[in-house]
A and B are shown apart, each in its own frame.
Chain A
Amino acid sequence: MSNRAIPRILQAPAVILLLVWMLVPLGMTIFFSLIRYVLNSLRRPEWTSPSLENWRGLGNYEYVLYQAKDFWLAVQNSLFIITSVISITVLLGLAIAVLINRAFPGRGIVRVLLISPFFIMPDVNAVLWTNMILDPVLGLNGLAVEGLNQIITSMHDIPIIGHFFSLWPKIEPISFRATQTSAIAVIVMVAWQWTPFAVLIFMTSLQSEDQQQKEAAILDGANSWAQFCYLTVPHLARPIAIVVMIQAIFHLSLYAEIEIVSRGNGNKNLPYLIGEFASNNIGAASATGILAVILANLIAIFLLRIIGKSLMD
């Protein structure tokens, strides 16, 4: 193609669409974050329509950062959930990938079974776990604890050890809807879904490992652990970095799981907080949104700087 214009024309629709998609809603959010804008107001009905006359400047940001008590909690919770999920998925993913790296009968099926959780809709994921597994009364959680209680009670009758067991209190199943534990429920659900992703990526990358280097290492007397530390992990450095980055991107906007597990009761993250504000106070919601965008960009710049250049070869 000698004509310079043709490639530009071909790329134009995609670029223009994404540009509009990025700029227009974002521009509006910035605008909304700088005015007073609520959906219902008895005292000040003029605040219910967006207009420049209701200019508030950075007042919304002040409100969100200093006065609304939920913002820092939400940020903290977001970061907690994201880092927990990433740590679990990477470590577990590494372990599993190394485990199933050698060919064995039924490996194809194992792979298929392992990868399935990733394709489940987030809503179904959340509903499944909250109601059928983690529910303290009806779910497997409740049933398992019940069963455990019954076993312990039946052990009361054994002559000597029975005494020991009779001292044990009845175990209460953990309700994952409570404020402290609902974050853990979310972490479990999301990690369940994304560990297969990590496993798949690491497995694919492991297949391109240099076998000759490994054999040389074995000849030199390296044991499995040393092989793992000094050969496998550096080889996997790039996939690990990619897995971390992609998860950070996706988990910042976690919504369905948070909402379904606890309705944000003490367990909020930024997107949920925005949704909460948006039920009435659009100004605050937009301000929180912009803050979330800033946070996302900080994380992205940070990660891309570390990883980005290596993605480009």
Chain B
Amino acid sequence: MLRPALAWVIALMFFFPIFWMVLTSFKTDADAVKPEFLFMFTPTLDNYLNMTDNYDYWRFASNSIITSVFATIFTLFVGVPAAYAMAFDPSRHTKDILVWMLSTKMLPAAAVLYPMTFLTKNFLGIFDTHFLVVLVLSLINLPIIIWMLFTYFKEIPKEIIEAAKMDGTTAWSEIRHIVLPLAWGGLASTALLCFIFCWNEAYWTVRLTTIDAATLSKLIEGNRAPEGLFFGRLSAVSTAAVGPIVVLGWFCQKQLVRGLTFGAVK
């Protein structure tokens, strides 16, 4: 009896800050800082309704959506063939290539920040464009996505593929009729996870954009030292920024484990 109770207490403790944020978003700014109104207060939807006026929410949100969606599509577009080739036709170097891809993620982003700014501003002129953000988001997530797809593809029994080959299917129909249906779940959850990572990316999206392609990360980062005590509004826009992702995350816990442990823990 003690165990479940303890588990609930811990879970609620961990969830509490999020709960607190959502709760505060329903208070007015004035109420949010008064201790009397901790739990008993008159809720208001003003913070949410005024989000566009206060923060220009929809512009940032649409940028987040656009860049995350396209980055996910591009990552899958590049990653699926690569993972497919590695899973079904491994060469001696496949494992080395996979480890090398992982190592590209270990590059501290700050080290290459200035060259990136320099390149994209002065040479390529793509600073602050959706194209650049999409490209960078894809490159950041490519290693993990390829690893995840690799582990999913590897689970398809070789016998099925070999049987299909002996039946004389072409590579393309092999993919369409056998691999895709079997790996569909894995593909979908990988895509979901990629979307989440792109959405939460807060380093490159902030430094490589100013106005046009700025995402929600930049909005939050710009409000980090609220001028005045606008906790109510801040909570509302924060909830709106992270809410969809938290809910999405609830649906792909398993893929998270698999992806972030490179398939080693299933």
Give A contacts to B, CB under 8 Å: 1, 6-8, 10-11, 13-15, 17-18, 21-22, 24-26, 28-29, 32, 50, 96, 99-100, 102, 104-107, 109-124, 126-133, 138, 140, 143, 146, 192, 195-197, 200-201, 204-205, 208, 238-239, 242, 246, 249, 252-253, 255-256, 259-260, 270-272, 274-275, 278, 282, 285-286, 288-290, 292-293, 296-297, 300, 304, 308, 310-312
Contacts and interface: CB of A to CB of B under 8 A. Distances in A.
Given A96-B7, A239-B261, 11 more contacts: A6-B171, A113-B15, A114-B14, A121-B242, A132-B21, A132-B231, A238-B265, A274-B110, A292-B108, A293-B107, A311-B264
Contacts of A1: 88-89, 171
Interface residues of B, number: 89
Contacts of A293: 107-108, 111
29 contacts: A6-B89, A11-B81, A14-B82, A14-B146, A17-B142, A18-B104, A29-B111, A104-B7, A114-B14, A119-B196, A120-B200, A121-B216, A126-B224, A127-B223, A201-B257, A201-B261, A204-B254, A238-B264, A249-B105, A256-B203, A260-B225, A270-B110, A274-B110, A274-B113, A285-B114, A286-B111, A288-B111, A289-B108, A290-B111
Contacts of B14: 113-114, 116-117, 192, 195-196
A21 B139 contact: yes
A205 B108 CA distance: 29
Given A119-B196, A253-B203, A286-B114, A99 B10 contact: yes
B47 interface: no
Contacts of B180: none
B40 interface: no
A22 B107 contact: yes
B242 A124 contact: yes
Nearest to B237: A124
Contact of B8 (A11, A32, A106): A106
Determine chain B's interface SS by DSSP, over half rule.
Answer: helix
Interface of B: 3-4, 6-8, 10-12, 14-15, 17-18, 20-21, 24, 33, 35, 38, 78-79, 81-82, 84-86, 88-89, 91, 95, 97, 99, 101, 103-116, 118-119, 138-139, 142-143, 146, 171, 196, 199-200, 202-203, 216-217, 220-221, 223-226, 229, 231, 234-235, 238, 241-242, 245-246, 248-250, 253-254, 256-257, 260-262, 264-266
